[in-house]
């Protein structure tokens, strides 16, 4: 019996009502965390070694005195908790599904285990897919006939060849626990002032309701296929005029589409429980776009959270984690979700480059520490060209499927992501993890089973000895040059 249940029984015996008992129990002081006598299992990935998410020994905690300023430390405090983890995963795109279909059956099963098994793999629990085509498909397509304003021809038959079977297999590999959300890259061209799905353009006012209805049709069609849709983003990258599928919304236009069309349409269709995510673009305009939508109560009531990508670096900027934090501070009742990131300009000869994984590690640590509840990589799988992609926008994925040889190539991005997804599970609460040297980047979570997972990353050329300090106890470790480590304390 839990301490909470015991509190309820005691208070009930004293004659207090259930509501009063619950209130009293909730306000009771939590039991302080103790690390005395505990050990931490170490998992490590490091450059110029064979360590790839490898077991690397144990640490035993002992009483630790006041540290000196000359001592390098990582301080972990489970006594303060923050956001709850939704999940970590990647996008199940047409490109990933088409590549998957070309692999031999043993490699298909290997890929599913590698991503979705929490024991043999890295335990993905979150997924994104597109509403009809994106750039990562063999061609552009929609689910309706030209000028079918009533959407009577709506059909996801195109997706039944590759994408839907792939998603179903991913769901099964994840034990049925795969949170899926969907994003549109563009409405059908005939709904836009440009007449094409490509190269930006805007949704014409007379088609706002039809486009909102399209979302409902998509959810129902996928759920009829046995694929639950947890959430939706309003528009992928609404400020980018791309040579591929794209559509422009200002903050005010997105706000008005949500409050006057998409939000009410989902509610009327009985789909109001689906999580609606605004923005879905880079961190640079994150606060401006969040405030444009969330400062309007009639729009905000439909919005679960704000999604974002990491491509603000195209302007020469570093990743802007403070913008994520500003949104979290201003709108603490809304959620933040990292919806896409990948390294662009694919070169097959460079799939072993070490900075691939380090970019993921830096982003995940910075995003989680800023208040993000979930993190979604872009394509889970691409082929040896970095595609297929119908406009030549070739990119890296954590696993490359070489369709010529039938082999899977694991980049170190796979292992870096795994240092989070394998050990930080849905329902985990972020706790404090603070380093006293900027060479060490760190975040930590306490899982629903009580275990603590601490991630420590070193992007420098030098190894660094440090003490991992947890609730007054300490243990010595070394962070190798260009490495990432996860410490799991049960």
What are the strands, taking DSSP E only, across 67-108?
73-84, 87-91
Position 14 in a domain:
no
Q: Which of 98, 237, 245, 312 is catalytic?
A: 237
Range of the domain at 344: 87-426
Supply the pLDDT for residue 30. 56
Can you give the pLDDT of all 490 residues of the chain as single tens digits?
A: 443 343 433 333 334 344 444 444 344 445 789 999 999 999 999 999 999 999 999 999 999 999 999 999 999 999 999 999 999 999 999 999 999 999 999 999 999 999 999 999 999 999 999 999 999 999 999 999 999 999 999 999 999 999 999 999 999 999 999 999 999 999 999 999 999 999 999 999 999 999 999 999 999 999 999 999 999 999 999 999 999 999 999 999 999 999 999 999 999 999 999 999 999 999 999 999 999 999 999 999 999 999 999 999 999 999 999 999 999 999 999 999 999 999 999 999 999 999 999 999 999 999 999 999 999 999 999 999 999 999 999 999 999 999 999 999 999 999 999 999 999 999 999 999 999 999 999 999 999 999 999 999 999 999 999 999 999 999 999 999 999 999 999 9
Position 4 in a domain:
no
Q: How many domains does the chain have?
A: 2
Sheet of 473-479, strands arranged across: 54-60, 39-46, 483-489, 452-458, 440-446, 429-435, 73-84, 464-470, 473-479, 62-63
Shared domain check, 152 and 60? no
Shared domain check, 55 and 115? no
Shared domain check, 225 and 290? yes
Shared domain check, 443 and 304? no
Supply the pLDDT for residue 31. 72
Beta bridge partners of 479: 464
pLDDT tens for each residue of 16-66: 344 444 444 344 445 789 999 999 999 999 999 999 999 999 999 999 999
pLDDT tens for each residue of 326-363: 999 999 999 999 999 999 999 999 999 999 999 999 99
CATH number of the domain bearing residue 357:
3.20.20.80
Which of 411, 426, 441 terminates a domain? The answer is: 426
> Which of 372, 376, 344, 115 lies closest to 236 in space, CA to CA?
376
Q: For 133, which DSSP code?
A: -
Position 10 in a domain:
no
Shared domain check, 481 and 365? no
**Is 340 among the catalytic positions?**
yes
Peptide bond into 53 cis (omega under 30): no
Position 361 in a domain:
yes
Shared domain check, 342 and 322? yes
pLDDT tens for each residue of 247-281: 999 999 999 999 999 999 999 999 999 999 999 99
Shared domain check, 111 and 72? no
Shared domain check, 220 and 316? yes
Supply the pLDDT for residue 16. 39
Supply the pLDDT for residue 32. 86
Position 238 in a domain:
yes
Shared domain check, 438 and 404? no
**Is 253 among the catalytic positions?**
no
Position 181 in a domain:
yes
Shared domain check, 186 and 64? no
Which of 373, 399, 426 terminates a domain? The answer is: 426
Shared domain check, 416 and 470? no
How far, in Å, CA of 53 to CA of 42, rounded?
9
Position 201 in a domain:
yes
Shared domain check, 103 and 193? yes
Beta bridge partners of 485: 44, 456
Supply the pLDDT for residue 120. 97
Supply the pLDDT for residue 465. 98
Which of 426, 451, 480 terminates a domain? The answer is: 426
Q: Which of 98, 245, 312, 340 is catalytic?
A: 340
Position 299 in a domain:
yes
CATH number of the domain bearing residue 45:
2.60.40.1180
């Amino acid at each position: 019996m839990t301490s909470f249940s015991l509190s309820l029984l005691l208070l009930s015996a004293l004659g207090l009502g259930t509501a009063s008992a619950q209130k009293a129990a909730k306000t009771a002081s939590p039991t302080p965390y103790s690390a005395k006598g505990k050990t931490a299992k170490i998992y490590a990935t490091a450059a110029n070694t064979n360590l790839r998410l490898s077991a690397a020994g144990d640490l035993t905690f002992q009483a630790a005195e006041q540290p000196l300023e000359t001592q390098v430390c990582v301080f972990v405090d489970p006594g303060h908790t923050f956001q709850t983890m939704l999940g970590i995963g990647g996008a199940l795109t047409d490109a990933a599904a088409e590549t998957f279909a070309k692999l031999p059956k043993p490699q298909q099963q290997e890929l599913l285990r590698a991503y979705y098994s929490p024991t043999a793999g890295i335990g993905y629990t979150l997924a994104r897919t597109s509403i009809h085509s994106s750039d990562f498909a063999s061609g552009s397509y929609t689910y309706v006939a030209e000028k079918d304003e009533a959407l009577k021809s709506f059909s996801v038959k195109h997706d039944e060849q590759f994408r839907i079977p792939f998603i179903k297999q991913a769901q099964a590999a994840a034990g049925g626990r795969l949170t899926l959300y969907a994003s549109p890259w563009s409405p059908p061209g005939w709904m836009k002032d440009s007449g094409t799905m490509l190269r930006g353009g805007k949704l014409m006012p007379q088609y706002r309701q039809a486009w909102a209805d399209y979302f409902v049709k998509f959810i129902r069609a996928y759920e009829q296929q046995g694929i639950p849709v947890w959430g939706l983003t309003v528009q992928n990258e609404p400020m980018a005029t791309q040579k591929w599928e794209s559509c422009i919304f200002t903050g005010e236009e997105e706000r008005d589409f949500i409050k006057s069309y998409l939000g009410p349409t989902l509610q009327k269709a009985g789909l109001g429980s689906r999580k609606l995510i605004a923005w879905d673009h880079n961190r640079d305009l994150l606060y401006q776009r969040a405030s444009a939508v969330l400062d309007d109560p009639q729009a905000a009531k439909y919005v679960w959270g704000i999604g974002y990508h990491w491509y603000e670096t195209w302007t020469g900027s570093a990743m802007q984690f403070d913008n994520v934090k500003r949104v979290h501070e201003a709108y603490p009742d809304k959620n933040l979700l990292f919806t896409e990131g990948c390294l662009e300009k694919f070169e097959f000869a460079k799939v072993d480059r070490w900075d691939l994984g380090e970019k993921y590690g830096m982003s995940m640590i910075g995003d989680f520490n800023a208040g993000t509840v979930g993190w979604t990589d872009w394509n889970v799988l691409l082929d040896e060209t970095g595609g297929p992609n119908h406009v030549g926008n070739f990119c890296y994925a954590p696993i490359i499927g070489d369709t010529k040889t039938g082999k899977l190539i694991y980049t170190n991005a796979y292992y870096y992501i795994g240092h989070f997804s394998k050990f930080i599970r849905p329902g985990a609460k972020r706790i404090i993890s603070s380093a006293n040297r900027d060479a060490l980047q760190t975040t930590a979570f306490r899982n629903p089973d009580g275990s603590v997972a601490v991630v420590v990353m070193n992007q420098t050329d030098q190894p660094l000895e440090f003490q991992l300090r947890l609730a007054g106890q300490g243990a010595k470790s070394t962070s190798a040059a260009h490495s990432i480590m996860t410490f799991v304390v049960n």
